[in-house]
Structure 1
């Protein structure tokens, strides 16, 4: 067997495997991880792997056979022992004695729990009997693009037989479950009766099973089979007709594609969020562009996908936009009017699909909006409840494109029949899994753009919103500081929850670019916190015009430019939104040596009221948080502000924290987290009918009471 693969990645490291030698479970997990690292082999959450070992029964002390398998809802690429299920194999196989047939096979899933060996096991997946009824030590069940292309081809069974000389069996399409496990065993037995020793089984429209006696041999067998499928497709591609029938249109240049994507994403997000607020993802991968620009798009896109894993994450079919690639998107209302009928027609189609295919006990219809939206010449948008789900949907549809391409190269692509697709999407077991999912956090599905969020108050605000489920756009003028913040947020919340962009709030070009990046990363923006600022404390004669201009540029013009750019996006989405302005007690309290800063803060406070009055019809709430003396981890104390305030009050710099705390009614210091909590109070959902308000977070300064 060769290790020189062209279509899959050989990732096995002998030194790593040697360090696990003797522990079959660890080797199985290692194999799983490196298989899952190659998206051509299987997507996030797709496929399953297993190993059968001998272990001591804790009750009898006797040796017994145990099967370790990826647990329900897991991902082989990131699998750990804690994500596996371990079952007594003899008990699992004995369930055949109580199996009542295909119509009752869902009831078998609960019986898997009676087979649990390791009490720390994850819930066993629906694939458990498929592995159990195959008598091999190591088994891989994967969804490789190349294999599914053959499995989804019109004459896939014949191609499989000829390509592998009968060494790969064939089991026609059937929903995963207990009965499919019995069919796999029967396929193996039928081949053995003919004197054929199978090295794998192809599942029609679904995926591939391969196996071996060692983890390494199983890995090689899997790669070899996938490689052979991929090479066969490559040799046949373009022989009878161009890929996807050849190009119908040309893609825009990269910069123009990105520009169009930024402009249209909030509009699409608004339409897709009519049921539940969604987060977006954009891809202009070359494989995607080849498909959406092709002559075959109109024929293949409505067919939908074949593999159940693809289908579950991408819905029955994508929506294809009727926009020209280079269409002027500046007329937002005109664009909305052009594509609104497409969404309405999609929702009607989906409702009819549900009504036609639903069974008496089927769950109620879910969100009828599309998950995948194709913009010929530009790219693919996917929308889901969170960024990870949207990104994974894009990955799965890219795999579906690969499958269609491969199947069309060797035969004719076939998708799942609508009823079969419905039975997967509205499977009661899938519904039960959805019902077990934790309740969404209060800011799930929302995108927060906090200016100056690489440190201090801004970072605390962004962190609070990420903790509550929001996607956050970290932005700052300090690239090094921003990169550190990104590392911290990624470690805390994962890569899909955070995006970063340099942003200078005094530059309209910079702000519009930053907002565009937010649209590209997440589909739009919902929450704006105008936090970026500086502080200058000087007496009137020491205060320069340059000081004055800098304060008003960053605090007042910055708030204006950011709010202006955000409102344009929010109006595209038509989902409402929040703007929270971090102002100050100094907007209302006249203190010494504070003419420039206090005046700028007063302007910020009144702009809040003005925008609240203007944006109410758009359901955009505009509110103020007034901090005072936030000393910890705040940039406000840089640049001489601390010295200036100490001088104004006739004390030393080191005495400021105690001075500020003592002058409050609560006698407490104010922390960045306190400001973050105040912002969350406005945007977390409980005050969704409040606008034009101010919330003081100053420990109680009577002079700052609003009247």
Structure 2
């Protein structure tokens, strides 16, 4: 849909963005807003009332005109004449599209009737923590009446759909009623203008929060009964555990992780009521669609020996899967979608924090945000009443709703590297930069590791920011820096699946010209560095039990004895043989280890720009600017090797194209006969 929209729709978009920007007002992807506008139909020349409403799958904070569904309201309201009752609600949803105006914009959501059947021009439906705390309180109806009298109504739990839309229409027609608290769900308000409905929404949210703060008991979750590790130890423990947690979250399908150790989370994990509240699960539909009906709670001490924790985790995971399967079979019918997986989406570790999982980083992060919403809801409800979520059967009815299943099936197919985490050393320039970009384009979360943090951060931002890539300062010769860098990768995305050992440097020279310092520098970065990074990554790869890839960027010099290049060429030969040795060793855990032998990559190379290009040009008696062309002319194909050529080889080795290939070194040299492998 064009951004050229009526003024009222512009107001709707601005209001939506303001409301969606505040997590206290609504969660990511949650809620919807609408406006009704009278226009002249271009088809008939007659007046027609249009409903502009946030479409399915959108987010209020980033909503644009193309995310709105546009329906002719008279036709939508007329559908009430064919409504057959609650058991036939799902049959109504396909009919919404027949009410579209023009191209219709975005796909209408299940909440469309809540907007279209209400006569007021503006409607907001939101999921604020303070209101949901009342909606999930055992005596929520009484509390709503106590706070607002009759100006805010109470609606017992109803699954979103036509019946709920009817309820909103009836309530909005009552004099003096400005909104409704939906049991177990959220808040809906209406108004004559955009400013009026926004003010009503924010006022109700604020008044709910003030009531909770004023009347809540001092410790809604009970006293502190568990210790919390200090920040340094907590982060170290999280990095140590994350691979094992990712393993249990990825049994049915590979997941990316997100770690949260905010004060809200740590306080909840330390409290007396933790176990019974976790067992009750989340309540609001938006919550348990993202988090599953409940998290997995690890009950070991935060500083327990790792082997003890891993053994207990295996027991808890087996129980969780059994319980989830039983939950599914208790409620599934012949028409229910197949079980989507029995692994937890949220793992809570007292004293450490919350680990959330999803098919991609954004999904994992948002799942964690939703559980924070759930904690806030539980705190509010327990502070003034008792937390009482909707029933298990109601949760199942939403989680395995055929409409949700259809929405899931409309998602695009995942990219080849979706769900994988790649660490690229020397990732801020040359081959490393090209590799980071290409792996990111194909769905990987990328950790850009290089010496300068600000440069790494710039590259990561260009790749899409924290949900796609992060930058990590890493001196690959320093064991502590490498360990910290791998830990940072794990804390950012939950683990490591692909390691690209690309960091390199060269100091040209014959034996007599090569100093001990030059020798140690090159062996330190390329040989020691590849060893240290692989060594640090192995514990994560082993813990995850998901296989993986290590790729060493070697060189055709590993097999071609070129002139005046002793230290560099022999270091590359060591890297190449490391490929074979690690392939033989790590195959037992499903990790493939391969290498790439490029010819000199001049353009975009940090190495060549740092003096190596001038040195090699002098050795071969050519101008430095012509060095790339010179290299190309000595090859079979007469084509200059560029960074993206090497990156493409890395992609081929890691994207599933060669699933049972390990110990291979691929020449990417345009054909240098002296470097042919044999």
* TM, length-normalised to structure 2: 0.98
Q: 2:160 aligns with which of 176, 182, 192?
A: 176
**1:149 aligns to what?**
133
Q: 1:583 aligns with which of 554, 558, 572?
A: 554
Per the TM alignment, residue 120 of structure 1 is displaced from its structure 2 partner at its CA by 5.1
Q: 2:243 aligns with which of 266, 278, 303?
A: 266
Per the TM alignment, residue 522 of structure 1 is displaced from its structure 2 partner at its CA by 0.7
Deviation string 1:164-205 (CA, Å, 9 cap, x unpaired) is 01100111101101111112222334xx3xxx4101011111
Q: 2:355 aligns with which of 381, 384, 387?
A: 381
Deviation string 1:420-459 (CA, Å, 9 cap, x unpaired) is 1001000000001111111111111110000010111101
| 1:666 corresponds to 2:619 | no
Per the TM alignment, residue 359 of structure 1 is displaced from its structure 2 partner at its CA by 1.4
Q: Is the 8 A contact 1:171 1:187 kept in 2?
A: no
Per the TM alignment, residue 22 of structure 1 is displaced from its structure 2 partner at its CA by 7.3
Measured in 2, the distance between the counterparts of 1:336 and 1:250 equals 20
* Structure 1 outlier segments of 4+, above 4 Å: none
Measured in 2, the distance between the counterparts of 1:567 and 1:593 equals 35
Q: Is the 8 A contact 1:85 1:118 kept in 2?
A: no
Measured in 1, the distance between the counterparts of 2:42 and 2:321 equals 55
Q: 2:40 aligns with which of 56, 75, 78?
A: 56
SS class of match (1:39): coil
Unaligned runs of 5+ in 1: 1-19
Measured in 2, the distance between the counterparts of 1:484 and 1:184 equals 49
**1:89 aligns to what?**
73
For structure 1, which segment, 386-395 or 210-219, has the greater mean C-alpha deviation from structure 2 after superposition? 210-219
**1:211 aligns to what?**
190
| 1:427 corresponds to 2:401 | yes
**2:313 aligns to what?**
339
**1:121 aligns to what?**
105
Deviation string 1:628-671 (CA, Å, 9 cap, x unpaired) is 11111111203321122112222222221221111111110111
**2:461 aligns to what?**
487
**2:234 aligns to what?**
257
SS class of match (1:688): coil
Measured in 1, the distance between the counterparts of 2:317 and 2:362 equals 23
Q: Is the 8 A contact 2:71 2:104 kept in 1?
A: no
Measured in 2, the distance between the counterparts of 1:386 and 1:566 equals 21
The count of corresponding residues between Structure 1 and Structure 2 is 675
C-alpha spacing 1:21/1:464, structure 2 compared with 1 (3 Å): closer
**1:687 aligns to what?**
658
| 1:234 corresponds to 2:213 | yes
| 1:290 corresponds to 2:261 | no
Q: 1:138 aligns with which of 111, 122, 136?
A: 122
**1:326 aligns to what?**
303
SS class of match (2:23): coil
**2:257 aligns to what?**
280
Measured in 2, the distance between the counterparts of 1:403 and 1:485 equals 38
**1:26 aligns to what?**
10
Measured in 2, the distance between the counterparts of 1:276 and 1:198 equals 47
Q: Is the 8 A contact 1:625 1:679 kept in 2?
A: yes
**2:169 aligns to what?**
185
Measured in 2, the distance between the counterparts of 1:158 and 1:179 equals 23
Q: Is the 8 A contact 2:111 2:161 kept in 1?
A: yes
Measured in 2, the distance between the counterparts of 1:655 and 1:702 equals 21
SS class of match (1:281): strand
Per the TM alignment, residue 64 of structure 1 is displaced from its structure 2 partner at its CA by 1.2
SS class of match (1:472): strand
Measured in 1, the distance between the counterparts of 2:466 and 2:65 equals 23
Per the TM alignment, residue 256 of structure 1 is displaced from its structure 2 partner at its CA by 1.4
Measured in 2, the distance between the counterparts of 1:682 and 1:219 equals 53
**2:510 aligns to what?**
539
Measured in 2, the distance between the counterparts of 1:438 and 1:149 equals 35
SS class of match (1:591): coil
Deviation string 1:592-613 (CA, Å, 9 cap, x unpaired) is 1111111111111111111111
Q: Is the 8 A contact 1:608 1:622 kept in 2?
A: yes
* TM, length-normalised to structure 1: 0.94
SS class of match (1:632): coil
RMSD over equivalenced CA pairs, Å: 1.3
**2:202 aligns to what?**
223
Per the TM alignment, residue 479 of structure 1 is displaced from its structure 2 partner at its CA by 2.5
Unaligned runs of 5+ in 2: none
